Amino acid sequence: MSSSATEATFSTSATSRNSNFSRSLVRKYLAGLRQGQIELLECSGQRELLGSPAEDGLRVELTVHQPDFYSSLIRRSELGLAESRMRGDWSSSDLTTLLRILYRNSAARGGMRSLTGFISQLLDRGRHWLARNSLRGSQRNIAAHYDLGNEFFSLFLDPTMMYSSAVFDAEHPTLEQAAVHKLDCICRKLNLQPRHHVMEIGTGWGGFALHAAQNYGCRVTSTTISRRQFELASRRIRDAGLEDRVTLLLQDYRTLSGTYDRLVSIEMIEAVGHDYLPVYFETCGRLLSPGGRMLVQAITMPDQRYDSYRQSIDFIRRYIFPGGHLPSMTAMQQATARRTDLLLTAVEQFPDSYARTLREWRSRFMSRLGEVREQGFDERFIRMWEYYFCYCEAAFLEQAVGVAHLIWERPGGPREGAGCETA
């Protein structure tokens, strides 16, 4: 046998041993699940039910298409699971349920991290550090997500173009109804009046500015650093004939000036970053008039997990939102206490509504895959975005993350009615 043939045989044998070893570790991990069952269907056709029954009956099928799935999971842990799904190495009968089971058994999952997984985590943390939200870094990070195009986001968002959690109830069961209901909830909590001038940090596609100006008669100044969003929001404001009441800025929040009666920021704080939270709240406090009120809609990380979250990189920050960061309640309160005189007066959480919002977005996205492909996106991208929707839905259902309306008031002026009816 030639030396090259010998080397090839040795390499194949080593690869096979590594694959078998990884497979045994993954099977051992899945067998140890205490909250939920996974029916593992392997390439060979072997089928095995692993884990323990959950009280609510969570059970799902996981089909392995490529044996690389096992080594990827061992080397990269949570990221390996996502990356192997993006490659098409595995599929599931219910991706959200699978991820719910893994969230629920997160303590056991930590035992799967290997030396190579630890090293790759360090590299990912380095990438995240390079993506920190400085003035220039924020523009890069926002562009990385929103440069996918307004046409892309319109495929799964409702006509309000609100890319944030809706608020569902019995009277507002559809996505569009729940999105409008959320906007009304915010306006009522702010007790908006026609005499008010509102600063919005994070325009999106103009949904809040349009709604507040049209339905509450106030003036709105709104800022974004996404040129794509700015262009579409400007057109929507112009088409609605609201240019006299809505002013759009293409400007970083840190450079804003003036004072305003009300301030609102809807799921923009996730683009701020831990190190910049004090600057964010200091800016808000400076912009808000004495006696003014501000509402922040924030996706939050539980206090108990915040420190470990800050030291790691997850799928969302690696592939969906570079520079993204979910603040904890305590981190936000500490930032306001250190730099402002703002007083937290109300908090309302609604994670079930976010899970439902994500389920609606995913359904719309998956029903329009032909148009997604026509826009130039490939199968890897499609699997990545399906994973994104399911990953987040599972996180809200399992309370791994939260979403809340937080209201701060600035003392020193006449205090108006609370206006804080629940969502």
For the chain, which residues make up each domain, given as ranges?
Answer: 3-127, 131-409
Q: Which of 107-121, 182-196, 279-293 has the lowest mean pLDDT?
A: 107-121
Token output for 270: 């996730």
**pLDDT for the residue numbered 116:** 38
Q: What is the H or E stretch that residue 414 is in? A: none
Token output for 371: 């148009």
**pLDDT for the residue numbered 415:** 63
In our burial notation (b when 16+ CB lie closer than 10 A, e otherwise), range 299-336 reads bbbeeeebeebbebbbbbbbbbbbbbbbbbbebbbebb
pLDDT score of 113 more than 90? no
**pLDDT for the residue numbered 209:** 99
| Burial (Cβ within 10 Å: 0-12, 13-18, ≥19) of residue 87 | middle
- Sign of the dihedral through C-alpha 272, 276, 281, 287: negative
For residues 368, 374, 375, 380, the Cα torsion angle rounded to the nearest 10 degrees is 80
Give the pLDDT band (50/70/90) at residue 136.
low
Q: Which of 1-10, 365-374, 375-384, 394-403 has the lowest mean pLDDT?
A: 1-10
Q: Residue range 359-373: average pLDDT?
A: 99
Between CA 352 and CA 354 the distance in angstroms is 5
Give the pLDDT band (50/70/90) at residue 277.
very high
Tell which wins on pLDDT, 290 or 4: 290
Q: Chain-wide mean pLDDT for the chain?
A: 90
- Sequence-ordered list of residues with C-beta below 8 angstroms from that of 10, at least 6 positions apart, any chain: none
Token output for 121: 């985590």
The pLDDT tens digits for 222-248 are 999 999 999 999 999 999 999 999 999
Long-range contacts (CB closer than 8 Å, 24 or more residues apart) made by 376-382: 377/152, 379/88, 380/86, 380/87, 380/88
Q: Which of 151-155, 182-186, 319-323, 396-400 has the lowest mean pLDDT?
A: 319-323
**pLDDT for the residue numbered 374:** 98
Highest mean pLDDT: which range of 22-31, 143-152, 284-293? 284-293
In our burial notation (b when 16+ CB lie closer than 10 A, e otherwise), range 104-132 reads bbeeebeebbbeebeebbeebeeebeebb
**pLDDT for the residue numbered 15:** 56
Token output for 412: 């020193």
CATH of domain 131-409: 3.40.50.150
pLDDT score of 123 more than 50? no
* Cα within 13 Å of Cα(80), Cβ side: 22
Q: Which of 6-10, 146-150, 167-171 has the lowest mean pLDDT?
A: 6-10
Q: Given the structure tokens 């009522």, which residue do they identify? A: 188
